[in-house]
Amino acid sequence: MDEPQRYRLTLTTTADGTVMDGRWVDLATALRKFRSWIGSYGSMPGARIELTEQATGGTWIELRAWPDGKA
């Protein structure tokens, strides 16, 4: 059985809403991808990248956000 993908990255733009998302089991991988997405997609107009963690009950808690939060 696959492990739950507990960490989610979401790229949104003011023009298009959610452009893409990805999910990972491992926090270290998710953090590496978060930094990579900033470099790859951060110049898109209105871009926002969020790293969230799935909590008990299925809610998502923001761990990092760019450009508004800690990168």
Task: Give domain status of residue 1, yes or no.
Answer: no
Task: Give domain status of residue 33, yes or no.
Answer: yes
Task: Give domain status of residue 2, yes or no.
Answer: no
Is the distance from CB of 66 to CB of 38 less than 8 angstroms? yes
3-class SS shares of the chain: helix, strand, coil, % to 5: 20, 40, 40
Total number of domains constituting the chain: 1
Give pTM, 2 decimals: 0.86
Residue with tokens 């959610």: 18
| Structural domain containing residue 12 | 7-66
pLDDT in tens, the chain (71 residues): 466 799 999 999 999 999 999 999 999 999 999 999 999 999 999 999 999 999 988 899 999 999 976 55
